[in-house]
Structure 1
Amino acid sequence: MASSDPLHVVAFPWLAFGHMLPFLELSKSLARRGHRVSFISTPRNIRRLPQIPPDLSPRIDFIPFPLPHVDGLPANAESTNDVPPDKVPNLKKALDGLKPRFADFVKEKNPNWILVDFAQYWVPSVAAEVGVPCAFFSIYMASSLAFAGPPSDLLDGSSWRTVEQLTKPPHWIIHSSSSSSSSSSSSSSFRSSIANRLHEARWFLGAYSMNDSGVSDVYRLGVVVESCRFVAVRTHDKLESDWLQLLRESIYKKTVVPVGFLPPTQQPLGDDNTTTTTTTTTTTISADDRAVIEWLDAQSPRTVIYVALGSEAVIASELVHELACGLELSKVPFLWAYRQQSRLPEGFEDRVRSRGLVATGWVPQHKVLAHRSVGAFLTHCGWSSVIEALRFGHPLILLPVAVDQGLIARVLAEHKVGVEVPRDEEDGSFTRAGVAEVVRMVMVEEGGKALAAKAKEMKEIFADEGSNERHMDEFVSILRNNYI
């Protein structure tokens, strides 16, 4: 192909909206540069994706692959949003059943590149049979990838046998408490103390164990990293330059590039009855939107804490009560995006009505974070939510729930843009008093000013469209130069 010809790229994310949406943003960035994308997912997931702008729609094809039947997987379950955590391995097993159909698709279309997620460990071997190169697109931070380690350890798993090992920085990351006074000429010899808490490490240990899909999650990741030509990470070099270099030089020993933050599209997910991937030129303002924004309009500038823990976060009822009562004790105005109204403490909404709103419908998070009345964000530390918040320079109250969110929280704390809610190391529980204390520290007390100042500095990185676009241009250049 000529150097000016558009590329044909296949994007194939894992069946979680926290993965599909960044893949979609990456696809849109490629389409804006004139390239053609085939976006593979299931029929129901495709119907639930946000709409594509009219100018990009001709260059993005949505390819529906129906999942095969798998015992134990509920009917119509096509994403992690549709199943409880214990059924996710069944979803991975169904995903693995797409291998023959994917192989036929690749043979027929012969794309220039395949961008694959961690779960589809069989994609690189299928692609290699027809000479199509693969790149691993990581929706995880570079620091989280580094903590997980090199492919050899992921495939073997022998170095991750205990929970205790997962509560310490691994040997390929130099612990900040050791040799902290010494200096090194190697740019990859930086120091970080990020690690899991004990209750988080138990979840991570499960990722290193074989599950009902037939393989472990880290084995999937290890095969993908080892087999792909290079790794693209949803991050920025001004935030994670040391981590990126550590991956490049010591852990993966291959090309690792940032693609920028790819901020989320600011519109709700669709439903099963609408084809949301068709073009549109109008935006409907829902009653939920209006109610939330009107409430925020009535509040004073930077006085409201926004609380959102993600649509898939699983939190015990007693901890929902502690969070609610902590917000009440703090006496700070709050907006809480929480759909499970029945799990709130009895009488809670009546008691806080004068200064708090629980939004039980869809919340326009971008509009909320952009609102003048919002002064901080209490978050589960999902990477997409963090990206949105720091684009507006909001300090963070960190309440990680699952996956790598604890590691993300430690990184944000190292950057001094957030503070964690105190937790019990053993079981991850927290108290209303701990919630109230942190909320008041960030929103009312003197200590919150330093966090706000750091978050405002971080906004210069997260909101810098120019440098994020340059990362994307460099990524596209690698795609082209490695293919020609």
Structure 2
Amino acid sequence: MAGEGKLHIVMFPWLAFGHMIPNLELAKLLAHKGHLVSFVSTPRNIDRLPKLPQNLATLIKFVKLTLPKVEKLPENAEATSDIPYDAVQYLKEACDGLQQPLTQFLQSSHADWILYDFAPYWAGAIASKLGIKSVFYSIFNAPTLGFLGPVPVLKGDKQVRTKPIDCTVSPDWVPFPSTVAWKLFEITRVFDAFSENNSGVSDMFRFGASVENCDIVAVRSCSEFEPEWLQVLENIYRKPVFPVGQLPSMEYDVGDENDDEWRRIKNWLDKHEKGAVVYVAFGSEAKPRQNEVSQIALGLEQSELPFFWVLRIRRGPTDPEVLELPEGFEERTRERGVVWTSWAPQLKILGHDSVGGFLTHSGWTSVVEAIQNEKPLVLLTFLAEQGLNARFLEEKKMGYSIPRDDQDGSFTSDSVADSLKLVMLKEEGGVYREKIKEMKDLFVNKDRQERYVDNLLAYMEAKKNRPCRV
């Protein structure tokens, strides 16, 4: 139980590191204020999370819930990064099997609030029955949630998006001109999110029920950056919406186990001039297709820029497709490039002076980390909400997307090379380099970030011990 006047807050993110890490960042900020946080996940995921700063170790408690076995879900697969994309539906099915153990934990926890993600959409209803208030905490930003829409649309009660082409235009509940929408190739790759999968519900239904079941919504966002989109959320959700800031990543205590790897990487980066190197990484979820890897590789070669490429060649040990580089590529680029196929400390790499640009999938944590370190963005989307992020960044002149065929998503090595040189070297790409610097304070200002967390906590403290939403 939390100390007098302090809250006990339970956090339950979706089983993906792109979700768990921003949840952990918020947990650290809540704990800094003296509140007790119970961070719920599965044993293997918790063991793989970064170590906490010593001063927070007594305030953030990790709660391990054993993931039930599900047919077709590989052994030891507890996060999306452990499995190919088409097996993620089985992970959601297993996650749904955590309802009973989560209920048992909440019954004995004396929790005041629970913050839950879109996948465990049922957590809000469980909390309500137990007299615990709930927050749907979305690591997706306000433009993404605003584009996805109101509860009846998300749950399928109102049929608005029945085919992929319907997702390529701005919806009628967005009252201002916006290019935020998927390209046809982007939504075609993820349109399964609108259909019921092996778990019995669609991803969109999970979003809708998450909003419906909560007391308030918290969004990884800030009102100075996207006020019009936060207003859209207020309008369509009809309940309080709290921006919690951009949650820039703080350095973790990762111990000594990765020191050798970082030393090797740093030694290589140290050999290059300031701003010369392009860093290439697509996060823990996104895996390019083989033909895309080939074009990226040949584009890096054609650009003649030094590069450090973190390449995931497969998603987990059961992934049947192992990506390969073009024949002779590594030999031809050995003097100026590195292809790194294991975990790499992204925040440290982006913080190095020699890195002058970031070729990224547009995942929001990567975007925030780039802005933290003033690295201009070249965008190449693959999955989920990345296309929506990319459109928003394009609107703000904060990123340049590699030109692609809107229908099939194909791109050429020439377009990769030209895009990198435009953003990193050419005069006309200066707008992207300057805009990132201009936005840095908005994203990483500590006082502003504190105010967002204080505002959320003030509401949560005021509602403590009051009757829950019926």
The separation in 2 between residues aligned to 1:87 and 1:322, in whole angstroms, is 27
The separation in 2 between residues aligned to 1:395 and 1:230, in whole angstroms, is 34
For 2:243, the aligned partner's letter is: P
- CA displacement, residues 253-286 of structure 1 (integer Å, 9 cap, x when unaligned): 211111112223435xxxxxxxxxxxx6955552
**TM-fit CA distance, 1:3:** 11
Contact conserved, 2:279 with 2:307, CA < 8 A, in 1? yes
**TM-fit CA distance, 1:122:** 1.4
The separation in 2 between residues aligned to 1:293 and 1:62, in whole angstroms, is 32
Residue 389, structure 1, aligned to residue 362, structure 2 = no
Residues 297-376 of structure 1: pairs in structure 2 closer than 5 A: 297-340=270-313, 343-376=324-357
Give the unaligned 5+ runs of structure 1.
Answer: 175-189, 268-279
Q: Which residue of 1 aligns with 2:143?
A: 143
The separation in 2 between residues aligned to 1:222 and 1:412, in whole angstroms, is 25
Q: Which residue of 2 aligns with 1:457?
A: 438
Residues 242-253 of structure 1: pairs in structure 2 closer than 5 A: 242-248=228-234, 250-253=235-238
Q: Which residue of 1 aligns with 2:415?
A: 434
Q: Which residue of 2 aligns with 1:61?
A: 61
For 1:346, the aligned partner's letter is: E
Contact conserved, 2:280 with 2:358, CA < 8 A, in 1? yes
**TM-fit CA distance, 1:362:** 2.5
RMSD: 1.8
- CA displacement, residues 354-403 of structure 1 (integer Å, 9 cap, x when unaligned): 22222233322111111111111110111110000011222100001100
Residues 139-288 of structure 1: pairs in structure 2 closer than 5 A: 139-155=139-155, 156=157, 158-174=159-175, 190-248=176-234, 250-267=235-252, 283=256, 286-288=259-261
Q: Which residue of 2 aligns with 1:119?
A: 119
The separation in 2 between residues aligned to 1:34 and 1:82, in whole angstroms, is 34
The separation in 2 between residues aligned to 1:281 and 1:99, in whole angstroms, is 31
Secondary structure at the aligned position of 2:114 is classed as: strand
TM-score after normalising by structure 2: 0.93
Contact conserved, 2:2 with 2:8, CA < 8 A, in 1? no
Secondary structure at the aligned position of 2:249 is classed as: coil
The separation in 2 between residues aligned to 1:461 and 1:206, in whole angstroms, is 35
Secondary structure at the aligned position of 2:54 is classed as: coil
- CA displacement, residues 339-360 of structure 1 (integer Å, 9 cap, x when unaligned): 4396111111221122222223
Does 113-122 or 234-243 show the bigger shift?
Answer: 234-243
The number of residue pairs the alignment matches comes to 456
Contact conserved, 2:121 with 2:209, CA < 8 A, in 1? yes
Structure 1: 4+ residue segments shifted above 4 A: 1-4, 280-285
Contact conserved, 1:330 with 1:439, CA < 8 A, in 2? yes
- CA displacement, residues 205-250 of structure 1 (integer Å, 9 cap, x when unaligned): 31111000001111111011012111111122221111111111x2
**TM-fit CA distance, 1:191:** 2.7
The separation in 2 between residues aligned to 1:159 and 1:97, in whole angstroms, is 31
For 1:166, the aligned partner's letter is: C
Cα distance change of structure 1 residues 220 and 99 upon mapping to structure 2, 3 Å threshold: same
Cα distance change of structure 1 residues 285 and 70 upon mapping to structure 2, 3 Å threshold: closer
Identical positions, percent: 45
Contact conserved, 1:392 with 1:463, CA < 8 A, in 2? no
TM-score after normalising by structure 1: 0.91
- CA displacement, residues 427-449 of structure 1 (integer Å, 9 cap, x when unaligned): 21211011011111112211121
The separation in 1 between residues aligned to 2:109 and 2:150, in whole angstroms, is 32
Secondary structure at the aligned position of 1:397 is classed as: strand
For 1:259, the aligned partner's letter is: V
The separation in 1 between residues aligned to 2:136 and 2:14, in whole angstroms, is 12
Secondary structure at the aligned position of 1:39 is classed as: strand
Contact conserved, 1:288 with 1:361, CA < 8 A, in 2? no
Q: Which residue of 1 aligns with 2:318?
A: none
Secondary structure at the aligned position of 2:242 is classed as: strand
- CA displacement, residues 55-94 of structure 1 (integer Å, 9 cap, x when unaligned): 1111111111101121111111111111111111111111
**TM-fit CA distance, 1:311:** 2.5
Does 56-65 or 359-368 show the bigger shift?
Answer: 359-368
Q: Which residue of 2 aligns with 1:15?
A: 15
Q: Which residue of 1 aligns with 2:316?
A: none
